[in-house]
Amino acid sequence: MDILKSLGHPEEILNLFKFKMGGCSAVMPKLDYESMSESLRTCYLYLNQTSRSFAAVIQALDGELRHAVCIFYLVLRALDTVEDDMTIPLDKKVPMLNDFHTYLYQDEWCFTESQEKDRQVLEDFPTISLEFRNLAQEYRDVISDICHRMGAGMAEFLEKKVGSMKEWDLYCHYVAGLVGVGLSQLFSASKLEDPEVGRDTELANSMGLFLQKTNIIRDYLEDTQQGRAFWPQEAWSQFAGRLEDLAHPEKLESALSCLNLLVTDALRHVPDVIAYLSRLHNQSVFNFCAIPQVMAIATLSSCYNNPMVFQGVVKIRKGQAVTLMMEATNMGAVQTIIAQYSQEIVQKVSLTDPSRDKTLHILAVIRDKSALSQSSLPTRTHHLSPMYLSAAMLLAALSWQYLSTTAAQAIGVNR
């Protein structure tokens, strides 16, 4: 049972229990589905079915921004489903990706031939496109533009692999950086955030790149087993003849060197993440943006120098995820979390790792950017009496089956 992994972290056990008892209502409020149209209710159903990470924080956004981001997510989920479906021949897939933004204004367009698990967003695309057309014009313009640019970028990379580190940045820009740009423009269009948030595309791009690179690093084994290659050749070719060779036990030292190189590259986006988050004013927007970012740096800390990346799935603990979700609600807390996980990585850096100097340098930049010195890092450990801790553990264990179903929508970093 996953709760056993949190036994050394009593605050996580308590937060799991608080989560079950509704302690995250500020982050995950209940929506008034009765006031929605049937098509909009269906869209939120698809959101909860297809998102492992963002469903909760999307539904916590304020006002009309909530619906705009929900539809934005579903449109891009449908586009991504086309890209991921290996059963669609390239001569059909490439035009679909390039033209996908035009389907938003075609009442009847749908695609019923997908074999992907999220195919319902393609099969019932008319419901999603209907709600897209019900959005205000400023939201429609952003969503259509990002969909167009993303589809073209996906089509570009269908027939070529990610080669150089610059191409890795470009691929991640197409599939995630543009999401950050689009979301930022939606935040500004809603008037919940200043126009500057939507205009600064460099910081917004970094928000997406940090999440996407974390996902790519974590998902090495799953992707290679399914015939997908997202680690850049410029990186892995320094350590192996083929990308999948990194999973061979005799290649472990080289595999870890490659892994640490890519984690270091992902970490260089963290200063921009801190700068971006520091500009946000609306609480719901801040939660929406901050929670995935702290999940990502926690995931990178777990992945760094970890052989399990090449042997299975590296995940942060459910209690850890819920704790991060409950804590990452203000800039000071986010800076503390980022600094603490950065320090965790510092402690794992090997004297012989080829990327050691670069890793330590970017971690020092992150520490300075977060304005927290190692000596001033506050502890988040709660000192509890044995009786209270035992009771909390028992309550958390008894409620776990219910909790695990609910928490699944609020944890993890989704791609």
Determine the Cα–Cα distance for residues 66 and 72; give it in Å rounded to an integer: 10
Catalytic residue, candidates 228, 268, 279, 380 = 228
- Identify the DSSP state of 411: S
Weakly modelled stretches of the chain, pLDDT under 70: 1-33, 52-53, 372-415
In the annotation, is 132 catalytic?
no
What distance lies between CA 335 and its chain's CA centroid?
18
Task: Find out whether 407 and 401 touch, Cβ atoms under 8 Å.
Answer: no
Determine the Cα–Cα distance for residues 58 and 386; give it in Å rounded to an integer: 38
In the annotation, is 44 catalytic?
no
Task: Find out whether 318 and 3 touch, Cβ atoms under 8 Å.
Answer: yes
Q: What is the model's pLDDT at position 11?
A: 53
Q: What is the model's pLDDT at position 401?
A: 44
Catalytic residue, candidates 171, 174, 210, 230 = 171
Query: First and final CA of the chain: distance in angstroms?
Result: 25
Strands (E), 120-175: none
Here the tokens at position 381 are 């450990």
In the annotation, is 288 catalytic?
yes
Determine the Cα–Cα distance for residues 26 and 43; give it in Å rounded to an integer: 22
Q: What is the model's pLDDT at position 54?
A: 79
SS (H, E, C) 340-368: HHHHHHHHHCCCCCCCHHHHHHHHHHHHH
Catalytic residue, candidates 66, 77, 218, 415 = 218
Q: What is the model's pLDDT at position 33?
A: 65
Determine the Cα–Cα distance for residues 106 and 77; give it in Å rounded to an integer: 18
Buried/exposed 181-211: b ≥16 CB within 10 Å, e otherwise: bbbbbbbbbbebbeeebbebeebbbbbbbbb
Here the tokens at position 220 are 């090495």
Q: What is the model's pLDDT at position 161?
A: 86
| Cα–Cα distances in angstroms (integers) from residue 351 to residues 90, 113, 268, 359, in the given order | 46, 52, 20, 11
Here the tokens at position 232 are 């850049």
Q: What is the model's pLDDT at position 337?
A: 95
Determine the Cα–Cα distance for residues 397 and 186; give it in Å rounded to an integer: 40
Strands (E), 254-344: none
Closest Cα to residue 169, out of 87, 266, 277, 76?
A: 266
Task: Find out whether 71 and 43 touch, Cβ atoms under 8 Å.
Answer: yes
Here the tokens at position 130 are 């209907």
Please list, in sequence order, all residues whose beta carbon lies within 8 angstroms of the beta carbon of residue 184, skipping any fewer than 6 positions away.
Answer: 193, 197, 198, 200, 201, 204, 207
In the annotation, is 218 catalytic?
yes
pTM: 0.83
Total count of residues recorded for the chain:
415
Buried/exposed 17-49: b ≥16 CB within 10 Å, e otherwise: bbbbeebbeebbeeeeeeeeeeebebbbebbee
- Please tell me the CATH code under which domain 1-30+230-398 is placed: 1.10.600.10
| Inter-helix orientation angle 400-407/318-327, to 10° | 60
Q: What is the model's pLDDT at position 183?
A: 97
Closest Cα to residue 182, out of 153, 208, 210?
A: 208
Catalytic residue, candidates 44, 100, 286, 288 = 288
Here the tokens at position 180 are 């950050």
What is the per-residue pLDDT across 275-321, written as a single tens digit (0 to 9) for each? Answer: 999 999 999 999 999 999 999 999 999 999 999 999 988 888 888 78
Q: What is the model's pLDDT at position 51?
A: 85
Determine the Cα–Cα distance for residues 280 and 302; give it in Å rounded to an integer: 28
